[in-house]
Amino acid sequence: MNGNQKYVCPKCNGLVDYGVRFCPHCGNAFGSWGERSAGTVTSTAKENLLTEAEYHFAKTRLAHGLLSTVTFKGTQITVKQVNKWLPFVKSNAGFAQFDVMDIESAYIKKSYNTMMCVLFALCLLVLLLSAEFILLVLTVIIAFSLRDTALIIKYKGGYLKLFNDKDPFNTEKHDDPQLVLDYIKQYNPDSVHVLMD
């Protein structure tokens, strides 16, 4: 049995390592791995493979948004991006199509956005002017929660950076970028990396 091989949880379709007792994604308990033959585990994993999925990401600002849709059909990936100006004007921003096996690396990167930097500067100004420590602490907490999340995919012939900001007004659909990485892991596990925060 290959200890490095990944298997699919039958409950949540999350990828798990051989021999684990519980799924790290949903907590599903597994039986004894030693009772199963290699063929049984592999066929179970194949039956639970996701073959089609669609995920949505958005980077929204006051009057502009960049909406991304990632569609999987087997090992084919299609990425469409649309610029959204105000609620009603849309224009195409980009299109990419490639195979999961062409991915060289995929990971999630978090960084502090411009809004956080502005809030932090305002917070320092408030501290200097009013000496309100509680207000300063609250502003810092809010500022540090406003982090940009970007799904980075490097593939043969291209590079994608799909933003998925927190939207305070919840106007656009946001899926968890980890779902895209889990789908990619099914077919190309060596390409998915974990970037330390």
Worst-scoring range by mean pLDDT, 71-75, 83-87, 101-105, 119-123? Answer: 119-123
For 33-75, the pLDDT digits (tens) are: 644 433 333 444 556 678 899 999 888 766 778 889 999 998 9
The tokens describing 91, both together, are 């224009």
Helix (H) or strand (E) holding 152: strand 147-155
Nearest Cα neighbor of 24 from 45, 6, 43 is: 6
Q: What is the pLDDT of residue 59?
A: 80
For 76-96, the pLDDT digits (tens) are: 999 999 888 876 778 887 899
Q: What CA dihedral angle connects 27, 16, 55 and 155, to 10 degrees? A: 160
pLDDT of 153 > 50? The answer is: yes
Q: What is the pLDDT of residue 102?
A: 93
Q: Give the count of beta carbons closer than 10 Å to the beta carbon of residue 89.
A: 10
Q: Are 126 and 139 in contact (CB under 8 A)?
A: yes
DSSP assignment letter at 108: E
Q: What is the pLDDT of residue 94?
A: 86
Confidence band (pLDDT; 50, 70, 90) for 100? very high
Q: 164 phi and psi, to 5 degrees?
A: -145, 75
Q: Are 120 and 147 in contact (CB under 8 A)?
A: no
Query: Greatest CA span in the chain, whole angstroms?
Result: 70
Worst-scoring range by mean pLDDT, 29-33, 90-94, 186-190? Answer: 29-33
- The whole-chain average pLDDT of the chain stands at 75
Q: What is the pLDDT of residue 195?
A: 65
